[in-house]
Amino acid sequence: MKFTELNLSDPLQEAIQTMGFTEATPIQVEAIPPGLAGQDVVGVAQTGTGKTAAFLLPALERLLRDPRQTKNPRVVVLAPTRELVIQVSDHARTLAKQTSLRIATIYGGDRMKPQIDSLRRGTDVIVATPGRLMDHMRRRNVSFKELEVLILDEADRMLDMGFLPDMKQIIRAMPNQRQTMLFSATMSPR
């Protein structure tokens, strides 16, 4: 399936073209249409198969279809490591380059002040590690009252790394009515 066959807005189509992609990968073909329809998605595919675009494109499209700007995030992506958070944030910024969407990158080992400033200015998308997002929650730097989409990237690794208690606490702070997308290279029963 070609990306042009997917129901994506012009700014996202332009970004995809600029990145040199024309054909969607199998995980993208399976995940993007239900993601665009607002359905919960569980995607399991090996690294390097386009999982990041499979969850970012529907989430960004949702924001573009309803362009209201709020101070609070409407999309949160949780990932297990700072390297993955940076990678997903960079990918989101590349896809959203032709839009006014604001993306905050939140991870431990980085200074808090720039992250706090970004959250206070307002953001549409947060890409974060669970531990640092919990720090911001404790300090009341972030509210999820307008959250629409939660994405768990490399969910199996987050569980393996002991993030389950943090993930549960973060999810409890979010609205029950939301779209959830869970992506992983492998899927354990947990």
The full DSSP string for 18-41 is HTT--BPPHHHHHHHHHHHTT--E
Average pLDDT over residues 24-31: 95
What are the structure tokens assigned to 50, written together?
A: 């386009």
Instruction: Provide the pLDDT confidence category of residue 68 given band limits of 50, 70 and 90.
Output: confident
Average pLDDT over residues 62-89: 94
- Residue 2: the pLDDT is 92
Element (H, E) at 150: strand 149-153
- For the full predicted model, state whether its pTM sits above 0.85: yes
The full DSSP string for 67-106 is ----SS-SEEEE-SSHHHHHHHHHHHHHHTTTS---EEEE
Average pLDDT over residues 11-36: 95
C-alpha angle 60/103/132, rounded to 5°?
120
Average pLDDT over residues 44-56: 90
Cα–Cα distance, 10 to 7 (Å, whole number): 10
Query: What are the boundaries of each domain within the chain?
Result: 3-184
What are the structure tokens assigned to 33, written together?
A: 């249409």
The dotted CATH code for 3-184 is 3.40.50.300
Task: Say yes or no to pLDDT of 185 above 90.
Answer: no
